[in-house]
Amino acid sequence: MKRSTILALTVLFLVNIASGFGWTPGYYDFGDTPFDANNNTAPIDYPYGIGTMPSPGVLGEGGEKFDEEGFFVAFDDDFMYVALTNSFGLTVTSTAWGSTYEQGDIFFGTADNTSAFAINVNEGALYGVDQWRHIDDVAGSYYDDVTIRNRVGAFKVVAGNALGSANQVHTFWDDLEPNPLAPGDGDTHVLEWKIDRDLFNWDGNSSLFFHTTLGCGNDLIEYTFPGIPEPGTMMLFGLGLCGVGFLKRRK
Ligand SMILES: [Ca+2]
Ligand SMILES: [Ca+2]
Ligand SMILES: [Ca+2]
């Protein structure tokens, strides 16, 4: 066997090991890792010297315990698929504060109302939202810090219409995360939902804005789905490429 062939096979083998993570028993294959740029960071500059890490950063219990670590959205013709990765699943308890905080609902909507809809994560149901509430007013939460309370925004649905079920699957991996924030460990939860697109009113090509937080406001996920290109746009793009091919051939 040539040395280059051996090298190619070795690389293939290593790639296969690296992509060993699967989304099973999930609904959609989002790729090889459940983490994205949200892992070990927060889109908020927290006070007390914590900075842009999930609060409390590397102090005390550490922000790892409260880390929201990945968020994924995809559509096919019939369904919307959403996945959230975090360190704790549906609830996390702070031993320092003696409080338990819930994972917030998954709010989404278009630019004119980014909290128009929500996946109620406890019921596994999709809601049209009439009223939502902020994070919990309990020990250890950022409720009293109005800037952060407002920044993390809608936390749970209070009133609305149940539009239908959001099929939900919750998977736990022990020590999956390779580089957790000190003094945390690598415990990883992935929550996934599969929702019938007919349940909510969306034109398919407007951007959809998603956000979710947890009851203490210690982290936040914000995600923009850019919309699905209209078939007309795809066709024009295709024609454009054909045109390039035509021009090239004429040279
Ligand atoms: Ca993490
Ligand atoms: Ca995070
Ligand atoms: Ca983690």
pLDDT tens digit string along 48-61?
A: 999 999 999 999 99
Q: Is the pLDDT of residue 23 over 90?
A: no
Give distance in angstroms: CA of 86 to centre of ligand 2. 8
pLDDT of 14 > 50? The answer is no
* pLDDT tens by residue, 119-142: 999 999 999 999 999 999 999 999
**Distance of CA 85 from the midpoint of ligand 3 (Å):** 8
Q: Give the domain ranges of the chain.
A: 24-250
* Ligand 2 mean position, distance from CA 179 (Å): 13
Query: 127: how many CB neighbours lie within 10 A of its CB?
Result: 24
- And the tokens for 7? 């090298």
How far does residue 90's CA lie from ligand 1's centre (Å)? 16
Tell me the CA–centroid distance for residue 67 and ligand 3, in Å.
6
- How remote is the CA of residue 188 from the centroid of ligand 3, in Å? 5
Instruction: List C-alpha distances in Å: 9 to 5, 16, 32, 114, 189.
Output: 6, 10, 20, 48, 33
